[in-house]
């Protein structure tokens, strides 16, 4: 009996083992992840449910799962490097070669004529013609020729050095070597100095404003720029670029907006930021004299509610000669111009315009533009100018 029970127990154990083995063999292979219930999305009443990111919907409302969009690379924001411009002192000496290149024909022509052994009437006519052609102007030319005739007579025979000395003296007399050409840019206590830049469009007004800001910053001043040329949107952008390069704040207004309001805001900003100088670039459209007078007059009046206008700089293109001068005269009649910025002197052989423009407008040339480079604006130095003209 005991033997039977033992056999039955063995059979039961074997049967159980066999059943367990079958289960292990037949169960599905691999681990399956537990199904994930999608999160319940409750539509916001009145709003259409937007498809979740990465799910495209087609017309049949079937959905396709797309790979998540690649994250656009973050643009690298590199702050523009603020330049430290060079100081203004000695600029004309640095740019002397450029002046010599454009003006040497005039200087050399005059020196050759005056060095002739015999100075007859024809030679004096030629000297006169050379001066007139260089835009010196009729009256200054006559005054110079008369003086030179007298001095040459006294001298008799002349060495080249004497001829050069004579001519230099005469040119300096006509240009005015003692004239005060200081740019008034000293702040008044808490209030900044204000420079108003006026002139016909295309003369280099905006460029000169930008160059002047650089030069003042190079001399250690803090500057705010006012883009009151609201007539041409690009002018404000241009000024912004100049300002950004040297870290000068630029106050601008809407295109076609009121220039006086921009000028006012620029001066207010200058006072708030305690800057030394505010430079205001104006549009100065020359449609009618009355319109111009109204516009510039208002700009000036509005600025004067907050500060003093220390300089009204008239920008004049040296290459436009007498034609440019006539237009400049209109500006001089509507605002009290205190100084001239003569641009593009590197692009003309007619440097005599310095003499005629001062005479006709009654104000000194304070700045000269000698190229398109950012530091090609220099305080005008008559001595350096005449030396460049006559050569060493
Ligand atoms: N060669 C040379 N080019 C200059 C000088 N000054 C300005 N320019 C160039 O003259 C052109 C006109 O200058 P802008 O400053 O745009 O003239 P703008 O008078 O402000 O003109 P608007 O903004 O229309 O009023 C630019 O190409 C300047 O680079 C200079 O002294 N020499």
State the CB neighbour count (10 A cutoff) for residue 90: 13
Tell me whether strands 277-282 and 223-228 are parallel, antiparallel or unpaired: parallel
ipTM of the complex: 0.93
Structure tokens at 81: 């490097």
Distance (Å) from CA 344 to ligand 1 centroid: 8
Per-residue pLDDT of the chain (392 residues), as tens digits, is 455 555 555 555 555 544 444 444 344 333 333 333 333 333 333 333 333 333 333 334 344 455 566 666 776 766 668 888 999 888 988 888 888 888 888 999 999 999 998 889 999 999 999 999 999 999 999 999 999 999 988 888 888 899 999 999 999 999 999 999 999 999 999 999 999 999 988 899 999 999 999 999 999 999 999 999 988 888 999 999 999 999 999 999 988 889 999 999 999 999 999 999 999 999 867 667 778 878 898 999 999 999 999 999 999 999 998 888 888 888 888 899 999 999 999 999 899 999 999 999 999 999 999 999 999 999 999 999 999 999 87
Residue 312 CB contacts under 8 Å (≥ 6 apart), including other chains? 195, 196, 198, 300, 335, 336, 337, 338, 339
Choosing from 91, 101, 204, 283 the residue with most ligand 1 atoms within 8 A of its CB, the one to mutate for a pocket test is 204
| Structural domains of the chain, with CATH | 193-337 (3.40.50.300)
- Residues 232 and 206: their CA atoms lie apart, in Å, by 11
Residues near ligand 1 (Cβ within 6 A): 201-207, 229, 232, 235, 343-344, 346-347, 369-372, 376
Nearest Cα residue to 255 out of 284, 230, 223, 277: 230
- Residues 247 and 223: their CA atoms lie apart, in Å, by 9
């Amino acid at each position: 009996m005991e033997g039977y029970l033992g056999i039955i127990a063995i059979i039961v154990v074997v049967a159980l083992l066999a059943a367990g083995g079958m289960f292990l063999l037949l169960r599905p292979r691999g681990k399956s992840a537990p199904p994930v219930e999608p999160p319940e999305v409750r539509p916001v009443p009145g709003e259409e449910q937007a498809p979740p990111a990465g799910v495209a919907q087609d017309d049949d409302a079937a959905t396709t799962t797309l790979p998540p969009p690649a994250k656009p690379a973050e643009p690298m924001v590199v702050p523009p490097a603020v330049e430290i411009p060079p100081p203004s002192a000695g600029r004309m000496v640095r740019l002397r070669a450029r002046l010599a290149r454009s003006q040497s024909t005039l200087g050399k022509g005059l020196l050759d004529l005056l060095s002739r052994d015999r100075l007859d009437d024809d030679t004096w006519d030629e000297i006169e013609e050379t001066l007139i052609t260089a835009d010196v102007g009729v009256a200054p030319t006559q005054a110079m020729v008369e003086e030179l005739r007298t001095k040459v007579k006294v001298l008799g025979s002349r060495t080249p050095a004497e001829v050069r000395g004579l001519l230099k003296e005469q040119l300096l007399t006509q240009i005015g070597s003692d004239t005060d050409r200081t740019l008034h840019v000293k702040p008044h206590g808490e209030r900044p100095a204000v420079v108003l830049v006026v002139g016909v469009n295309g003369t280099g007004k905006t460029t000169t404003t930008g160059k002047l800001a650089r030069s003042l910053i190079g001399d250690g001043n803090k500057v705010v720029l006012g883009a009151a040329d609201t007539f041409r949107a690009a002018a404000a952008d241009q000024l912004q670029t100049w300002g950004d390069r040297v870290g000068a704040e630029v106050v601008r207004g809407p295109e076609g907006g009121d220039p006086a309001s921009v000028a006012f805001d620029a001066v207010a900003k200058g006072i708030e930021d305690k800057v030394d100088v505010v430079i205001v670039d104006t549009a100065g459209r020359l449609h009618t004299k009355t319109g111009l007078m109204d516009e510039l007059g208002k700009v000036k009046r509005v600025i004067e509610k907050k500060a003093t206008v220390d300089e009204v700089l008239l920008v004049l293109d040296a290459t436009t000669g007498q034609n440019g001068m006539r237009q400049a005269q209109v500006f001089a009649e509507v605002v009290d111009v205190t100084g001239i910025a003569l641009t593009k002197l590197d692009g003309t052989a007619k440097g005599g315009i310095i003499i005629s423009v001062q005479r006709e407008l009654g104000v000194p040339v304070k700045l000269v533009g000698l190229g398109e480079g950012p530091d090609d604006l220099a305080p005008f130095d008559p001595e350096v100018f005449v030396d460049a003209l006559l050569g060493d």
